[in-house]
């Protein structure tokens, strides 16, 4: 059996929607963009949404719209995809990594506050914001980060690139703080091929981001009028049409995804009870829309054991990965002074995690095959 790590859920509806756009002259800057944005904003429960070429582009425009610039510091997680921290480097701002919770793999308002207060006063003054991630679709404490924002005047960015459909205290991830985002790479809950969307209730952030994504043009301005230095971060109408079709099937897609997640949990329960592997924990009051299925080997195992498991599964036709290598250990962050030992929990988790195949149409038989092979490894 060959099982991919991820596989987009594309039906005739998506194909027809894309074909329909191709039959019009509006391949970009057309009507599909506002239609897609309205669907995403309504889904997330925010006033404004701006579709872009990717989640990284969205993060960059949020950073710029918040005025985060050279010399500013931003507290964030080391356990994420690199884009979460890279968006700061684009503007010569600097991330300050905060270690994660060992069960949810998210940073918490408590650990962020502790790191903030531990900074020397002259450094603390330079901290402008917090970027937190709802990692693998598990909601971080959005309400807690909003309280932190009120207490210290910090701006909050909710990177929900991996958490479309997740919620905490009945509010959807991506809707917290000053601005948030979803991303639409083909392994995500909803795909547009490539793409991302900014979510906010703040009109000013929305206006600036809209301009930045479109070469610095203000809304309604002429093609050659550029109010500020901008980028081409636009999403095309072809991508947006794909996204609209996906949002039309959103309940069905999220239900399928959740079913696969529950199947895995059910079949792995005996291994969990033996303490060999641990699932990622879900905080109380949250709804999880899973992005990937990640397990962590117990602390009795080493990084070598994890790598042997990855090798074994791949040999058996099961695609899998070591999500995530901590961001602070990427070579260019190490050059900035970060080193192994700085984030012990993130490093420890990262050495033991395995992402297994996970997508909407993964069958019961395939799940059973994966679980059987993981079992065989531990025998």
- Name the site residues for ligand PLP (rule: CB under 6 A): 54-56, 80-81, 83-84, 133, 159, 161-162, 183, 185, 196
**Would you call 27 exposed, middle or buried from its count of C-beta atoms within 10 A (0-12, 13-18, 19+)?**
middle
Adjacent-strand bridge partners of 297:
277
Residue nearer to ligand PLP on the CB measure, 214 or 366: 214
Residue nearer to ligand PLP on the CB measure, 243 or 366: 243
Task: Give me the least distance between CB of 23 and ligand PLP, in Å please.
Answer: 27
How many C-beta neighbours within 10 Å does residue 368 have?
A: 12
Task: Give me the least distance between CB of 357 and ligand PLP, in Å please.
Answer: 17
Which helix H or strand E contains 163, and what residues bound it? none
Task: Give me the least distance between CB of 159 and ligand PLP, in Å please.
Answer: 5
User: Are the C-beta atoms of residues 94 and 117 closer than 8 Å to each other?
Assistant: no
User: Are the C-beta atoms of residues 213 and 231 closer than 8 Å to each other?
Assistant: yes
Task: Give me the least distance between CB of 14 and ligand PLP, in Å please.
Answer: 18
Helix axes 364-378, 303-315, angle to 10 degrees: 130
Could you say which DSSP state residue 263 is in? H
> What is the distance between the terminal CA atoms of the chain, rounded to a whole angstrom?
21
Task: Give me the least distance between CB of 117 and ligand PLP, in Å please.
Answer: 26
Task: Give me the least distance between CB of 138 and ligand PLP, in Å please.
Answer: 12
Task: Give me the least distance between CB of 29 and ligand PLP, in Å please.
Answer: 20
Residue nearer to ligand PLP on the CB measure, 57 or 208: 57
Residue nearer to ligand PLP on the CB measure, 80 or 289: 80
Residue nearer to ligand PLP on the CB measure, 80 or 286: 80
Helix H segments across the chain?
12-22, 32-44, 55-65, 83-89, 109-118, 121-124, 142-152, 203-213, 237-248, 250-273, 303-315, 331-334, 344-352, 364-378
User: Are the C-beta atoms of residues 174 and 156 closer than 8 Å to each other?
Assistant: no
- The CA distance from 329 to 331, in Å, is 6
Residue nearer to ligand PLP on the CB measure, 198 or 276: 198
Question: Would you call 259 helix, strand, or coil by DSSP?
Answer: helix
- The CA distance from 159 to 182, in Å, is 7
Task: Give me the least distance between CB of 272 and ligand PLP, in Å please.
Answer: 25
Residue nearer to ligand PLP on the CB measure, 62 or 73: 62
- The CA distance from 294 to 200, in Å, is 29
The torsion angles phi and psi of 54, rounded to 5 degrees, stand at: -175, 170
Residue nearer to ligand PLP on the CB measure, 180 or 230: 180
């Amino acid at each position: 059996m060959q099982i991919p790590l991820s596989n987009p859920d594309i039906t005739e509806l998506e194909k027809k929607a894309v074909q329909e756009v191709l039959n019009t002259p509006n391949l970009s800057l057309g009507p599909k963009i506002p239609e897609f944005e309205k669907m995403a904003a309504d889904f997330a429960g925010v006033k404004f949404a701006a579709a872009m070429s990717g989640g990284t582009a969205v993060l960059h425009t949020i950073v710029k719209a918040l005025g985060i610039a050279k010399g500013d510091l931003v507290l964030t997680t080391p356990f994420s995809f690199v884009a979460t921290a890279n968006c700061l480097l684009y503007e010569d701002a600097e991330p300050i990594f905060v270690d994660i919770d060992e069960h949810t793999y998210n940073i918490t308002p408590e650990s962020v506050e502790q790191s903030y207060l531990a900074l020397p006063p002259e450094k603390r003054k330079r901290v402008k914001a917090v970027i937190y991630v709802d990692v693998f679709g598990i909601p971080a404490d959005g309400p807690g980060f909003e309280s932190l924002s009120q207490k210290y005047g910090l701006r909050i960015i909710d990177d929900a690139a991996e958490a479309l459909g997740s919620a905490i205290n009945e509010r959807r991830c991506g809707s917290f703080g000053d601005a948030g985002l979803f991303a639409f790479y083909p392994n995500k809950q909803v795909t547009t091929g490539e793409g991302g969307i900014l979510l906010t209730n703040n009109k000013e952030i929305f206006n600036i981001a809209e301009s930045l994504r479109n070469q610095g043009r203000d809304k309604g301005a002429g093609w050659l009028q550029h109010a500020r230095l901008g980028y081409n971060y636009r999403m095309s109408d072809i991508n947006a049409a794909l996204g609209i079709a996906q949002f039309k099937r959103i309940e069905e897609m999220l239900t399928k995804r959740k079913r696969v997640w529950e199947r895995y949990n059910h079949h792995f329960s005996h291994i969990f009870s033996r303490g060999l592997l641990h699932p990622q924990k879900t905080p109380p009051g949250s709804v999880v829309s899973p992005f990937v299925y990640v397990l962590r080997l117990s602390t009795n195992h080493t990084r070598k054991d994890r790598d042997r498991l990855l090798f074994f599964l791949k040999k058996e036709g099961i695609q899998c990965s070591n999500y995530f290598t901590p961001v602070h250990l990427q070579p260019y962050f190490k050059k900035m002074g970060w080193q192994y030992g700085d984030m012990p929990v993130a490093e420890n988790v990262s050495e033991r995690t395995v992402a297994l195949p996970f997508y909407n149409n993964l069958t019961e038989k395939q799940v059973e095959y994966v679980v059987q092979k993981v079992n065989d490894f531990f025998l």
